[in-house]
Amino acid sequence: MELTERLLKLTDTYCAARGVSDATVSGIIFKNSRTIPRIRRGGDVTTRNYSRAVGWFSQHWPDDYAWPPAIERTPAGEVQA
């Protein structure tokens, strides 16, 4: 699974759990509401931005939703820049 596919899987699951949009999550993680929608339209993600997103999702993941099994999670307490 490519990084973009992993990021979109995390985004889809998180958005469904919280009832928020791609743009909302994108704005929180990347300070740009257009980043995730651009990736969804076929854009790319850098490894630095992917790492930032996984770190954010790891810290804010809802307790009542399972983390997608095919995606590595940032260890608890490890902060991604």
Residue at 66 is within a domain: no
Residue at 52 is within a domain: yes
Q: How many domains does the chain have?
A: 1
Residue at 71 is within a domain: no
- Give me the chain's average pLDDT, please: 91
Residue at 27 is within a domain: yes
**55 Cβ contact list (under 8 Å, min separation 6):** 74, 78, 79, 80, 81
The residue among 32, 31, 33, 13 whose CA lies nearest residue 22 is 33
Quote the pTM value.
0.88
Structural domain range at position 54 = 3-60
Residue at 75 is within a domain: no
**φ, ψ (nearest 5 deg) of residue 22:** -55, -45
Residue at 77 is within a domain: no
pLDDT computed for residue 61 by the predictor: 96
**17 Cβ contact list (under 8 Å, min separation 6):** 62, 64, 65
